[in-house]
Amino acid sequence: MEKWIKWSCFIASGCIAALFGFAVYIGTLLPDTFLVEEGSEIRIAGMPFVQAVHTGTGTYAAKLAEPTSYNAQLTIGGVVPVKTVRAQVVEHRTVQVCGTPFGIKMFANGAMIVGFSDIYTNTGYVNPAKTAGLRMGDVVRSIAGMQTKTNEDVARALQSLHGAPAEIVYVREGKEDRVLLTAAQDAETNRWRAGMWVRDSSAGIGTLTFVDPDTGIFAGLGHSIHDADTGLTISLRKGEIVPVEITGVVAGSAGSPGELKGRFLPQASVGEITQNNEAGVYGNVTGFLQGEQVETALAQEVKTGDVQILATIDGTTPQRYAAKIEKIALNSANPNRNMVVRVTDPRLISATGGIVQGMSGSPIIQDGKLVGAVTHVLVNDPTRGYGIFIENMLQAAGTAPGDAA
């Protein structure tokens, strides 16, 4: 009997230790802050065993009787503590969901270096830009005090110096710096060159996710627009969006991402881009954009299972296609890779192979709510891709300047 009691205690101790270990593991999967609607508590759709207990510690807005944020203790079954989190109270949101293709025209805030080319001079080959310490992805803001917003500005500044040393102001990884550069004279053309290729603009197509009817702000892509050669996010000077018609599809396959082919329609711009960041492109609506009013979901409301992707793969009208959310990462370090989505609709798989370039920003609908948007395709399996929580896009849209629609 005594031996049985000892074994029972040993087993019970092991179970308790395992439960607390499981609680610690669950804590690593959950963020430190949750958004909650007024009058609601934290409920995690994918973890129904996790319960939240309001601790009573909150911050109040000047004119509100309800706290705008408060602390909550997450537990397993109301017994085993998981972690203490902050709950940020937000208003219920409804947006105009789109799924329509749109064209992007962007001008960088400077001339980005996208390549180098040695210059043949009377004394041999040289590369002044490399010698000065400039790198791929650096954005040249000025040369000898002359602003360089365009490729033409760079060429004009170099010619005006006639080989005199010049201070180059550039930005690298968000930090401004300076170097001294002396242009070389090309022996064949007699023009002064720095040995660097620069780009000042970009254009492409994507999918519009939503328009906020309260602010007139649009959101699309779910990821930043980056330079094709350097892979770096383009620092925005100005940009606009225009209507697009999808004219064809290059289907994706394992190891070869597909893409949507389209043409910019002759209509005037329908929006001004004001932000280009990791969560997408955002700006002000200046023209009519089609869409239906749909409620939005908070991140913790999203669950694995059936969803619909709203995408346009022909013409200008979006269609709904069946898909599944296979995995959710509430505490993802990457703001635009919060879920893994798999296309299951045979129509979409037959036409595109799954997710292709140009579908970035396609809204994801679950249980009648907008839960996120498609952002990337998995190169080795085009039926699968990543998605961003719509919560993240709404937060990014909230920091973009806008006017009521």
Active site residue ranges: 223, 345, 360
CA dihedral sign, ordered 356, 264, 322, 34: positive
Do β-strands 280-285 and 271-277 pair in parallel, antiparallel, or remain unpaired? Answer: antiparallel
Q: Which two tokens stand for residue 316?
A: 């200008």
Cβ neighbours of residue 1 under 8 Å, at least 6 residues apart?
none
**Taking the C-alpha atoms of 55, 60, 66 and 68 in order, what is their torsion angle to the nearest 10 degrees?**
-80
Q: Is 5 helix (H, G, I), strand (E, B) or coil?
A: helix
Backbone φ/ψ region at 398: left (φ over 0), alpha (ψ -120 to 50), beta: alpha
Do β-strands 369-378 and 292-296 pair in parallel, antiparallel, or remain unpaired? Answer: parallel
Cβ(354)–Cβ(399) below 8 Å: no
DSSP summary character for residue 265: -
Q: Which two tokens stand for residue 337?
A: 């890779």
Cβ(267)–Cβ(243) below 8 Å: yes
Cβ neighbours of residue 44 under 8 Å, at least 6 residues apart?
30, 50, 300, 330
